[in-house]
Amino acid sequence: MLSVLARSVGNAFRNKVRSGAVVVILAVAIGLAMSMLVANQAVGDRISALKGSVGNNLTVNPAGARGFQGGGEPLTAADVTKAKAVAHVSSVTGTLSLRLRTETATTTAQAGTQAGTAQGGPGGGDGTTSLQSAVEPGTLGNRQNQSGAQSGQGPQGAPGSGNGGNGNGTVRTFTLPVSATGVAGTEDANGNTINVTSGKQLSNFAATSTQALVGTTLAQKNNLKVGSTFTVDSTKMTVAGIFDGGTVFDNNGIYLPLAAAQKLTGQTGQISALTVKVDSIENVDSTKTSLTNALGSTRVDVTAGSRNLDSAVSSLASVQNISLIAFIAALVTAGLIVLLIMIMVVRERRREIGVLKAIGAPNRTIGLQFVLEALVLVVIGAVVGTAVAVFSSSGIASALVSANTATAGARGGRGGFGGGGFGGFGGGAQLIGNLTTTIGPGTLLGGLGAVLLIAALGALVPAWLTAKVRPIEVLRGE
Amino acid sequence: MLEVRNVSKQFKSGDHTIKPVNDVSFSLEQGTFAAILGKSGSGKSTLLSLLGALDKATSGDVMVDGVNVSTLPDGKLTAYRRNDIGFVFQQYNLVPNLTAKENVMLPMEFARVRRSERQARAAELLEQVELEADVHDRKANRLSGGQQQRVSIARALANNPKIILADEPTGNLDEQTGELIIELLRSLTRTQNTTVLVVTHDMALARKTDRRFRLAKGSLAEEFDRSRAR
């Protein structure tokens, strides 16, 4: 066996120029195959990451309610437990949305209009705060305030509305309430991590916690820094961090620990909405149904987030397919190269094969010798090719992805989806981001295994041909 | 003991049937040095290939020590070629990128002889065919014709065959070297009791043999020459 291997290695380099050329060609084919395999895996990983991280949110609201509008019964901690038990649910975040009236505004209003008449902010408030809203009411705020005040008049303003009711809408000075969200972790109601720009995330989620996060504009308006204090329903809260929510509306809000927010406003155990993360985008629809069933369709409304990720995922999936096909094609090419070169070698050495048979070599020894000779060439080609792939696969994968997303985008535009389609896709392309490839030992071994297998297959035909060579070839003249 | 009984070989070439070997019978005692003479194309090489199981006869039997080689299955034929026959060719047919010693070791490798044993025996055989130690590790394609033919004889002897079949062993050699090779083959019949059958048209070679046959148009006839050199 050892001698057969030694002969095979020796034979592989009998014609150094040809063997060198074959190794180079094999290296290119194998390098391409390995690059494609790596690209395939990188894209595959990215697809599953995308499917598991974006567009897989479900929002659970109390039936008939959205935010501060509508009615119905609030969700409870029991609903969180139930939602967590549903299949394919990877996480459940409960949040409590509050609107806090500004204490000073209330005082002013009380002074001007008698006690008890100014309770109705738009839609009613959940508590009070020392903070001043950073957003001026403007036309929209005043319009809401009026309708809110009028609609709120009946139930809320009833005790003291006898004489002051008329003058309320016009005399009263009005400031917008500050929106507060009770959170149980570092994520907001949409499941995204709160972007804290200075200070720290909330860390104490006990009911007695006094930590709070304040939006940038709200902090500016009220001269708050990390460590400053303000009150919520007369309880002193400390600013743990300042966050940037990206929008004027978001930055006019605060985050409180959920339990503390519930306790402060007397809504213990109540939750306004649940954000449910599903393990993969594929399971969103089925999970939506099972979640509705688990919580009761009369009690909750379950809504799925936007799905514009689909186009990104499908274009990535086509890249994955292309790279898989290219991997197979490159492998087959490598196999064909081995096949053809070995057929050539066998024809060239018919006489020598005849000699070996004449001096008593069994067919399988000769066949093995030729298979090993082919494998020697392939192994050298694979080593060189893999080295090339290590350096080039990242570029190839990125090129594949960007080329494919560009064509997909152009196709979308031509297809008449117009700006919407394209915009949706733009979002997808952003989500794809930069593709980074790494060659793991598993990928490497799998790829090399496939290369060796196909090379062995390519060498088997010539080996079979050697078995067909008759020993009498040895007597044939040159 | 080599016995050949009514061996024929025929090929179809288009519409014609060619019979290069036609009903050939002869027998050789162990240790005989014999020659088959004939013109080019007389079927000498075909007969040799039938005796060495390189090809199968259309009819007839080749018996070696009572074993009918003609009826052996392919696997046994390989073993027969490996263990009972040694070939020496006009073109030497050494594996060019192996050394002299490695070439001699090849048949022993196929016979599954241990490596150390192979090396020892190969060196011994090369000494026996009078090749100096300094050429043992030289690549076959770096050897002269005479040296190559010696290596090929050493290779033929590797597995202690009963019969050595030589096809024009001196055909590519100058007269002097040819004579040395003939002497070598001849001495084998004496020292090892090996049967040596040489196919040749070289009369100088033929004169040194114990028995001579002439093959003409596929038929074999023994020649009894009075000027036999013994």
Is residue B92 less than 8 Å (CB to CB) from chain A?
no
Q: What's the Rg (C-alpha) of chain A?
A: 36
Euclidean distance between CA atoms B166 and A100, whole angstroms? 112
**Cα separation, A204 vs B72, whole angstroms:** 91
SS3 for B184-225 is HHHHHHHHCCCEEEEEECCHHHHCCCCEEEEEECCEEEEECC
User: Which helix (H) or strand (E) covers residue A290, if one does?
Assistant: helix A284-295
Report the amino acid identity of residue A249.
Answer: F
**Nearest chain A residue to B115, by CA:** A3
**What number is the ipTM of this complex?**
0.91
Q: What is the pLDDT of residue A169?
A: 44
**Which pTM value belongs to this model?**
0.66
Among A466, A475, A476, which would you mutate to test the B interface (most chain B Cβ atoms within 10 Å of its Cβ)?
A475
A349 in contact with chain B, both atoms CB, cutoff 8 A: no
Nearest to A274 by CA among A420, A58, A422, A32: A58
Which amino acid makes up residue A230?
A: F
Structure tokens given for A279: 């393990």
Per residue in A314-373, pLDDT (tens digit) is 888 888 899 899 999 999 999 999 999 999 999 999 989 999 999 989 998 999 999 899
| Interchain contact, A478 vs B110, CB within 8 Å | no
Listed in sequence order, the residues at least 6 apart from A328 whose beta carbon sits closer than 8 Å to its beta carbon are: none
Please report, in tens digits, the pLDDT of each residue of chain A (478 residues total): 678 888 898 888 888 999 999 999 999 999 888 888 888 888 888 887 777 766 778 888 888 887 777 778 888 888 888 888 888 888 888 888 888 888 764 444 444 444 333 343 444 467 888 888 888 888 887 777 766 555 444 444 444 444 444 444 444 567 788 888 998 888 887 777 888 998 999 888 888 889 999 999 999 989 999 999 998 888 899 999 999 988 888 888 999 998 888 888 888 888 888 888 888 877 888 888 888 888 888 888 888 876 666 777 788 888 889 989 999 999 999 999 999 999 999 999 998 999 999 998 999 899 999 989 998 999 999 889 888 887 776 676 676 666 665 544 333 333 333 333 333 333 444 455 556 666 667 777 888 888 888 888 888 888 888 888 888 888 776 4
What residues contact A86, with CB distance under 8 A and at least 6 apart? A276, A287, A290, A291, A294
Is B81 near chain A, with CB under 8 Å? yes
Residue B171: its chain A contacts at CB < 8 A?
none
Q: Which residue from B98, B105, B111 is facing A360, i.e. has the nearest CB?
A: B111
Q: What are phi and psi of B6, to 5 degrees?
A: 50, 45
Encode burial over A245-261: b for 16+ CB neighbours within 10 A, e otherwise: beeeebbbbbbbbbbbb
Sequence length of chain B is 230
List pLDDT tens digits, range B122-172. 999 999 888 899 999 999 999 999 899 999 999 999 999 999 999 989 888
Q: Which residues of A touch B159 (CB under 8 A)?
A: 360
From A472's Cα to the closest Cα of chain B, the distance in A is 5
The nearest CA of chain B is from the CA of A387 a distance in Å of 31
> Which amino acid is it at A163?
N
Whether the CB of B91 is below 8 Å from some CB of chain A: the reply is yes
